[in-house]
């Protein structure tokens, strides 16, 4: 009996050794698997890289429909590495997929537009689209918005009307920013544009466009509506394509769209302009010791002249940034008004009813009084004066009324500037001078040269910034619209 048990034990041990040996031989055959890493972290191991990629694609029909693409890809940062191992444990593809999905969004193949910033302290803008031609079409639509459809088509097709007397021709239109486009895998949590219209809105109004409606009331004008909503007239026209000019008439109950622009690209329009510009007459004061003070008399009435001015104008995103006058031809002469004043001295008190003009004729108002986006720093602000350009670098700047110079200095924004106290409740401000020709404490007469046109401080071209204040501007006094005194 014991002998039989011993034999049975030996047989069982032999069979175990045989089967163990068989298993050992099988496990020595290596397996090929794939380890899945996301941003360096091991997510799992799968038996087939292709099956995981197909599973990701098959589980994302919503993404395909949303962006109208055929394939959805792994997230950026996902790496699948081939391994050879004797182990035979792998994770379910569905489990690995869920782990990836919980950590990072998947990607689609598309295009990246990089808009390089001219300021090193400002990051480049990155924009994504499903098709390359969306960028090209959106940029063209953006240009058309600023230029106008008819003007742009005439420029492209070389069908602009030739200037015979006065008029404007576009010499060049372009996007100033440096741009690069490349094909990339785009994370689906990014803003991905699928059409040119919505991308064009982004280029014009920025990523946080806020639009409201305004119902026109009796007495409203385009200028007053723009000012009351702290936007420029040009911005109002951009949002309301049916209004073609700031001179268009409005009607009671009309609905206007109000939106602040925040251009993401710089649309440059270079124009050649020929226009007839009124050359306002000056008032010349002559002093007569034989006349009693206050017994003023007009010995010659004035009349405005007319000049035909040819100039190159550079416009960026609807704002004039540079004016260079090429020629000026007198069509009608200017006749100055002459007033004889009853005592030969310069009063320090300026008139409240008669104001002179600060520049020569043939000028262009390159930026009016009102809200605008500052062309230098891009900040929305109240432009508290008027910019007068086009009379030429180094041309005269005149005091617009009698008064006393209280400031003749330099500021990093307004450059060389002069402030005159007219002792009638008003102060005038003249900025960006190339040269100051008066000093503090000096009494000046209306029409006296106080400086020369320049481009000092923050200025895109030679001009004078002219403002009128109700007190000393260097002490925070309030400003008024200069046109209100003319």
CATH classification at residue 235 = 3.10.350.10
Give bridge partners of residue 431 from the DSSP assignment. 465
For residue 14, tell me if it sits in a domain.
no
**Do the Cβ atoms of 193 and 132 come closer than 8 Å?**
no
**Do the Cβ atoms of 476 and 469 come closer than 8 Å?**
no
**Do the Cβ atoms of 438 and 450 come closer than 8 Å?**
yes
Instruction: Please tell me the distance from the alpha carbon of residue 102 to that of residue 104, in angstroms, as a whole number.
Output: 6
Instruction: Please tell me the distance from the alpha carbon of residue 323 to that of residue 394, in angstroms, as a whole number.
Output: 14
Indicate if 327 and 342 belong to the same structural domain. Answer: yes
Indicate if 250 and 293 belong to the same structural domain. Answer: no
Phi then psi for residue 361, to 5 deg, are: -75, 175
Indicate if 325 and 469 belong to the same structural domain. Answer: yes
What pLDDT does 244 receive? 84
DSSP, collapsed to helix, strand or coil, labels residue 233 as helix
What pLDDT does 1 receive? 46
The pair of three-digit structure tokens given for residue 318, joined into one six-digit string: 């609807």
Give bridge partners of residue 37 from the DSSP assignment. 42, 79
Indicate if 88 and 235 belong to the same structural domain. Answer: no
What pLDDT does 344 receive? 62
Among 383, 399, 378, 388, residue whose Cα is nearest residue 451 = 399
Indicate if 241 and 370 belong to the same structural domain. Answer: no
Task: Extract the residue ranges of the chain whose pLDDT is less than 50.
Answer: 1-3, 6-7, 9-10, 12-13, 16-27
Indicate if 178 and 294 belong to the same structural domain. Answer: no
For residue 2, tell me if it sits in a domain.
no
Range of the domain at 414: 267-485
The pair of three-digit structure tokens given for residue 244, joined into one six-digit string: 């073609």
Indicate if 399 and 423 belong to the same structural domain. Answer: yes
In the chain, the number of structural domains is: 4
The pair of three-digit structure tokens given for residue 40, joined into one six-digit string: 């360096």
The string of pLDDT tens digits covering residues 123-181 is 899 999 999 999 999 999 999 999 999 999 999 999 999 999 999 999 999 999 999 99
192-193 and 443-444 as β-strands: parallel, antiparallel, unpaired?
A: unpaired
**Do the Cβ atoms of 28 and 21 come closer than 8 Å?**
no
The pair of three-digit structure tokens given for residue 233, joined into one six-digit string: 């007239």
Indicate if 337 and 452 belong to the same structural domain. Answer: yes
What pLDDT does 26 receive? 45
- CATH number for the domain spanning 277: value is 2.70.70.10
> Domain end: 86, 104, 122, which one?
104
DSSP, collapsed to helix, strand or coil, labels residue 368 as coil
Instruction: Please tell me the distance from the alpha carbon of residue 216 to that of residue 226, in angstroms, as a whole number.
Output: 12
Instruction: Please tell me the distance from the alpha carbon of residue 103 to that of residue 230, in angstroms, as a whole number.
Output: 44
What pLDDT does 27 receive? 47
What pLDDT does 9 receive? 43
**Do the Cβ atoms of 90 and 153 come closer than 8 Å?**
no
> Domain end: 208, 223, 241, which one?
208
Instruction: Please tell me the distance from the alpha carbon of residue 122 to that of residue 338, in angstroms, as a whole number.
Output: 55
**Do the Cβ atoms of 178 and 221 come closer than 8 Å?**
no
Instruction: Please tell me the distance from the alpha carbon of residue 246 to that of residue 363, in angstroms, as a whole number.
Output: 20
What pLDDT does 246 receive? 86
For residue 419, tell me if it sits in a domain.
yes
Indicate if 197 and 221 belong to the same structural domain. Answer: no
| Burial category of 446 from C-beta neighbours within 10 Å (exposed 0-12, middle 13-18, buried 19 and up) | buried
Indicate if 314 and 412 belong to the same structural domain. Answer: yes
**Exposure on the CB side of residue 354, measured as CA atoms within 13 A:** 16
Q: In what order do the strands lie in the sheet with 396-398?
A: 396-398, 449-452, 435-436
What pLDDT does 24 receive? 39
> Domain end: 51, 81, 104, which one?
104
What pLDDT does 17 receive? 44
CA angle at 34 for the pair 29 and 38, rounded to the nearest 5°: 155
Indicate if 149 and 51 belong to the same structural domain. Answer: no
For residue 8, tell me if it sits in a domain.
no
Give bridge partners of residue 387 from the DSSP assignment. 367, 465
For residue 5, tell me if it sits in a domain.
no
The string of pLDDT tens digits covering residues 205-229 is 999 888 999 999 999 999 999 999 9
The pair of three-digit structure tokens given for residue 325, joined into one six-digit string: 């006058």
Compute CA 55 distance to the chain's CA centroid, rounded to the nearest angstrom. Answer: 44
Measured between its terminal Cα atoms, the distance across the chain in Å is 134
Indicate if 96 and 225 belong to the same structural domain. Answer: no
């Amino acid at each position: 009996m014991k002998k039989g048990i011993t034999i049975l034990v030996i047989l069982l041990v032999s069979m175990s050794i045989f089967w163990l040996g068989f298993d050992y031989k099988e496990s020595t055959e290596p397996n090929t698997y794939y380890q899945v890493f996301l941003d360096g972290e091991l997510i799992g191991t799968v038996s087939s890289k292709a099956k995981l990629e197909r599973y990701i694609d098959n589980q994302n029909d919503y993404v395909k429909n949303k962006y109208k693409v055929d394939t959805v890809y792994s997230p950026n940062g996902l790496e699948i590495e081939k391994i050879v191992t004797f182990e035979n444990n792998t994770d379910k593809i569905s489990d690995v997929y869920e782990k990836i999905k919980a950590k990072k969004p998947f990607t689609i193949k598309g295009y990246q537009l990089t808009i390089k910033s001219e300021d090193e302290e400002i990051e480049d803008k990155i924009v994504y689209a499903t098709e390359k031609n969306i960028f090209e079409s959106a940029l063209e639509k953006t240009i058309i918005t600023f230029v106008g459809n008819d003007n742009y088509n005439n420029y492209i097709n070389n069908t602009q009307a030739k200037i015979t007397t006065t008029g404007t021709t576009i010499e060049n239109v372009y996007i100033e920013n440096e741009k690069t486009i490349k094909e990339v895998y785009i994370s689906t949590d990014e803003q991905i544009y699928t059409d040119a219209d919505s991308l064009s809105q982004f280029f014009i109004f920025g990523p946080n466009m806020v639009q409201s409606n305004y119902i026109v009331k009796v007495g409203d004008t385009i200028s007053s509506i723009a000012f009351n909503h702290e936007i420029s007239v040009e911005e109002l026209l951009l949002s309301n394509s049916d209004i073609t000019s700031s001179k268009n008439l409005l009607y009671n109950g009309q609905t206007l769209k109000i939106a602040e622009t925040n251009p993401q690209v710089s649309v440059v329009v270079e124009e050649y302009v020929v226009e007839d510009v009124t050359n306002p007459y000056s008032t010349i004061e002559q002093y007569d010791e034989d006349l009693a003070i206050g017994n003023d008399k007009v010995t010659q009435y004035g009349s405005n002249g007319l000049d035909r001015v040819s100039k190159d104008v550079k416009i960026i995103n609807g704002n004039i940034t540079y004016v260079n006058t090429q020629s000026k031809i007198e069509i009608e002469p200017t006749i100055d008004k002459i007033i004889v004043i009853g005592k030969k001295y310069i009063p320090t008190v300026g008139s409240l009813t008669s104001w002179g003009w600060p520049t020569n004729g043939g000028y262009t108002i390159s930026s009016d009084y009102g809200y605008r986006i500052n062309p230098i720093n891009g900040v929305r602000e109240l432009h508290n004066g008027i910019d007068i350009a086009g009379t030429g670098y180094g041309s005269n700047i005149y005091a617009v009324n009698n008064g006393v110079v209280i400031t003749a200095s330099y500021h990093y924004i307004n450059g060389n500037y002069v402030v005159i106290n007219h002792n009638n409740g008003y102060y005038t401000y003249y900025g960006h001078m190339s040269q100051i020709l008066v000093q503090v404490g000096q009494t000046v007469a209306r029409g006296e040269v106080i400086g020369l046109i320049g481009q000092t401080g923050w200025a895109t071209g030679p001009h004078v910034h002219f403002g009128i204040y109700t007190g000393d501007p260097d002490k925070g006094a309030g400003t008024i619209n200069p046109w209100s005194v003319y």
